[in-house]
Amino acid sequence: MAVPTIALYASPPSSVYSTPYSCQINSHASHDFDFNSRSSSSASTTTSSSQKPAVGGLSCLFSTQSVKHASSSSSFSSGTEDLGSLWHDRGEELSSSFRGSSLSSSLKRDQGHHSPMTVLQGPGSSNGSGGIGACSRSPSKRIGGDFYSSRSGSGGLFNGFVRHALGSCVDYDPVNLHLRDSDSAPPGLLDELTFNIDDGFGDSKLEPYAKDLLLDAQARHKIFHDDLVVKAFCEAENAHRGQMRASGDPYLQHCVETAVLLATIGANSTVVAAGLLHDTLDDTFVTYNYISLSFGAGVADLVEGVSKLSHLSKLARENDTANKIVEADRLHTMFLAMADARAVLIKLADRLHNMMTLDSLPMIKQQRFAKETLEIFAPLANRLGISTWKEQLENLCFKYLNPVQHKELTSKLVTSFDEAMVTSAVEKLERALKDESISYHSLSGRHKSLYSIHRKMSKKKLNMDEIHDIHGLRIIVENEEDCYKAATVVHQLWPEVPGKFKDYILHPKFNGYQSLHTVVTREGMVPLEVQIRTKEMHLQAEFGFAAHWRYKEGDCKHSSFVLQMVEWARWVITWHCEAMSKDQPSISHSDSIKPPCKFPSHSEDCPFSCIPECGADGPVYVIMIENDKMSVQELAAHSTVMDLLEKAGRGSSRWIPYGFPVKEELRPRLNHSPIIDPTCKLKMGDVIELTPAIPDKSLTEYREEIQRMYDRGPNVATSTTMAGLRS
């Protein structure tokens, strides 16, 4: 039985379903948000399907299964169409009127509350529904001599890797997806919520716009019927009531779209609920404790993790950290290491929707966000293996950073891109492989993203005709022998482009990458790249030393700690996705799903145990703020505040523990609190402010006075200075 495929897109699932062989250029409605606006939320909203976020990039996936359901009609929209719009990132773009609430949100937390436990250090919860399935186009019937079930037995975990590795799509079991659109939903379903909100979850009635939002979300994904998720929806509605985006849309809409993006990649109810609540700590009066009591610590920790990431991201953006390669790189690692990897997922979904709604912001802000997204968030999505998000983020950044080139390339691609060609190539190859009794694990096709084409053209100084892999197929077979047999079949079907056959099986690349590559020409002389590999080679190509994210990051020389951290985060995300789908009857996971091993060592039977360990004593990255300038500092494991001060050239006698300034106002601050014990150990993601907060930035004389005072030594705060500071 063929399994329909949902691409890992932010597009409405229904559209992907109805046209599984979908390939779209972004086409977004425009949404903005004005943080200062607190008019009545009953204002202007309904989420018509035209308002749903659409695909953020020019990119598509094809599959043997997709093909079976493919509609010949093209969903590839006009190339000159405006590719994306949208905006806002609330937690990161706090206007002055929101600083108060942000501050109060940090103050109102429990003093005793600790940072969220990272799943990188231990198993996290992953209950709930939601589903994720194999991305690969696994044949579901016997082809040749073997039957490869992608969804059973020990293959389950492997398939989890593969689907992320193929990186581009997630299958849902159609029986369980319960994806509803207005055409297919049973009569009356969309008119009524599945429970009485007033009785169950809210202490106030949902306004009509909110009810519409919920119904719309429920029509797009079954997880929005889950009690926890509905409860989170009501809570988010209550908390954000009256808050509007600049477009006039209710703020709640952004929360819902973020949650839909998460649901679309198979996130479970805990993550989707946290996605709905992701801005409540920063922008509303909701507290950590309240979320924890109402939704459990799992959701509260995730929301807090996202909030922390948002603050760091804002700091980084204000300091243009994305421009500094080393610091940007440390930020990636810090983001992955300091929070549950799922919090990073939520942050990515939040950013993706904000990028989709960027249009109404002033150009300068659009560019600032796009720059940061390109340097920080797209690489994070890449490292986590969520390639469709990465592609959408990159395409949107490209649009805002290079509008002219973006438009030019888009219109060129409209004429050169041949959607039907890839569909029929997949079909044709599938038939030919079957005729030759060559069994394969998966057969997938993809269209290179707009930004990836642009980057390749600029990097290699090529014109578009010289890019051979705009259309590509990938076959994953069982063994080496089948790789060569499949290559022969490919060459029998289509003429080979001379000099383009590469045998990386016989001659692996230095990083261990193995695969057969060939480029053939299809009718009309359109080149088609075909990659053929075994599943072991594929694992290596996606998770091992030859991992695609490293390949794409090119020259970056990562420390083993960074490499391990990324691999760990990918592993955790994959594990969660596997665990999430365990409730799907079609998947037998009993022997494949185990909690993630404890960071950083793997159990013997863990498929990741082959990764060499580099010990838990990796570096610690912290944010140091001095005179309003932020930097990301790398320190050895177990470093203390004192070590940082010394590194910053502040290690003079005045900073020795007993010499710390008596006045709290003059002490350096750790995560906003004056440091009491300078020998305390630093944690990944800690924020240390070396200079005290100055009430008014224009008061440079106070800053200078403080500097002089530090230079004179400890405990000498003059009464005039302190009085001045307090005034």
Ligand X SMILES: Nc1ncnc2c1ncn2[C@@H]1O[C@H](COP(=O)(O)OP(=O)(O)OP(=O)(O)O)[C@@H](O)[C@H]1O
Contact residues for ligand X (CB under 6 A)?
167-168, 387, 444, 446, 448-449, 452, 456, 469, 472-474, 529, 531, 548
In the complex, least distance from residue 86 CB atom to ligand X, rounded to whole angstroms: 23
Among the listed ranges 279-287, 325-333, 510-518, 606-614, the one in contact with ligand GTP (CB under 6 A) is: 510-518
Q: Report how far Cα 594 is from the mean position of its chain's Cα atoms.
A: 24
Cα torsion 50, 52, 58, 63: sign: negative
CB of 458 to ligand GTP, least distance (A): 13
Instruction: Give the residue with the Cβ less far from ligand X, 86 or 546.
Output: 546
Query: Rule CB under 6 A: is residue 285 a binding residue for ligand GTP?
Result: no
Nearer to ligand X, 465 or 617 (CB): 465
Residue 469 interacts with ligand GTP (CB under 6 A)? yes
Quick check: helix, strand or coil at residue 35? Answer: coil
Pick from 31, 368, 517, 669 the residue near ligand GTP by CB under 6 A: 517
CB of 62 to ligand X, least distance (A): 9
Buried (b) or exposed (e) across 527-543, using 16+ Cβ within 10 A?
A: bbbbbbbbbebbbbbbb
509 near ligand GTP, judged by CB under 6 A:
yes
Could you say which of ligand GTP, ligand X, none residue 387 binds, taking C-beta under 5 to 8 angstroms by partner kind?
Answer: ligand X
Angstrom distance (rounded) from CA 33 to CA 30? 10
Q: What are phi and psi of 681, to 5 degrees?
A: -80, 145
Q: Which of 468, 533, 570, 576 binds ligand GTP (CB under 6 A)?
A: 468
Report in angstroms how near the CB of residue 540 gets to ligand GTP at its nearest: 8
Bond into 600 cis (ω within 30) = yes
Q: Residue 557: CB partners within 8 Å, gap ≥ 6? A: none
CA atoms within 13 A on the CB side of 697: 3
Smallest distance from ligand X to CB 186, Å: 38
b/e map of 662-691 (b: 16 or more CB within 10 Å)?
ebeebbbbbbeebbeebeeebebbbbbbbb
Beta bridge partners, 518, equal 530
- What are 59's strand-pairing partners? 24
Q: Quick one: which of 83, 361, 546, 566 contacts ligand GTP (CB under 6 A)?
A: 546
Least distance CB 434 / ligand X (angstroms): 19
Determine which residue in the list 548, 647, 650, 683 makes contact with ligand GTP, applying CB under 6 A.
548
Report what 546 binds from ligand GTP, ligand X, none; CB cut-off 5-8 Å by kind.
ligand GTP
Residue 314: contacted member of ligand X, ligand GTP, none (CB under 5 to 8 Å, by partner type): none
Q: How far is the CB of 468 from ligand X (least distance, A)?
A: 9
- Choosing from 233, 494, 513, 543, the residue that interacts with ligand GTP (CB under 6 A) is 513
- Binding to ligand GTP by CB under 6 A, coded x per residue (else -) over 412-451, reads ----------------------------------------
- What's the Cα-to-Cα distance from 359 to each of 77, 124, 400, rounded to whole Å? 19, 37, 9
Residue 727, CA distances (Å) to 223, 387, 695, 705, 721 in order? 53, 52, 9, 15, 10
- Please tell me the distance from the alpha carbon of residue 169 to that of residue 17, in angstroms, as a whole number: 12
Cα(520)–Cα(463) distance, rounded to whole angstroms?
Answer: 19
By CB under 6 A, name the one of 511, 603, 609, 707 that touches ligand GTP. 511
558 makes contact with ligand GTP (CB under 6 A): no
Using the minimum distance from each CB to ligand GTP, give the nearer residue, 290 or 545: 545
Element (H, E) at 587: none
Residue 468 binding target from ligand X, ligand GTP, none, CB below 5 to 8 Å by type = ligand GTP
What track of x and - describes contact with ligand GTP for positions 705 through 724 (by CB under 6 A)? --------------------
Q: Which does 444 bind (CB under 5 to 8 A by kind): ligand GTP, ligand X, none?
A: ligand X
The alpha helices in 26-95, defined as continuous H runs, are 64-69
Long-range contacts of 646-649 (CB under 8 A, 24+ apart): 648/624, 648/690
Shortest distance, CB of residue 393 to ligand X, whole angstroms? Answer: 13
Q: Kindly state the DSSP code that residue 460 receives in the 8-state scheme.
A: H
Q: Judged by CB under 6 A, does residue 541 bind ligand GTP?
A: yes
Strands 471-477 and 526-534, by their bridges, are parallel
Residue 609 CB neighbour total at 10 angstroms: 13
474 is in the binding site of which of ligand X, ligand GTP, none (Cβ under 5 to 8 A by kind)? ligand X
Taking the C-alpha atoms of residue 500 and residue 520, their distance in angstroms, rounded to an integer, is 8
- If contact means CB under 5 to 8 A according to the sort of partner, which of ligand X, ligand GTP, none does residue 511 touch? ligand GTP
User: What whole-number distance in Å separates Cα of residue 467 and Cα of residue 448?
Assistant: 10
Please, which residue, 358 or 443, has the CB nearer to ligand GTP? 443
- Name the binder of 250 from ligand GTP, ligand X, none, CB < 5-8 A by kind: none
For residue 452, the partner it binds in ligand X, ligand GTP, none, with Cβ less than 5 to 8 A by kind, is ligand X
Smaller CB separation from ligand X, 493 or 716: 493
Q: Which residues bind ligand GTP (CB under 6 A)?
A: 468-469, 502, 509, 511, 513, 517, 541, 546-548, 551
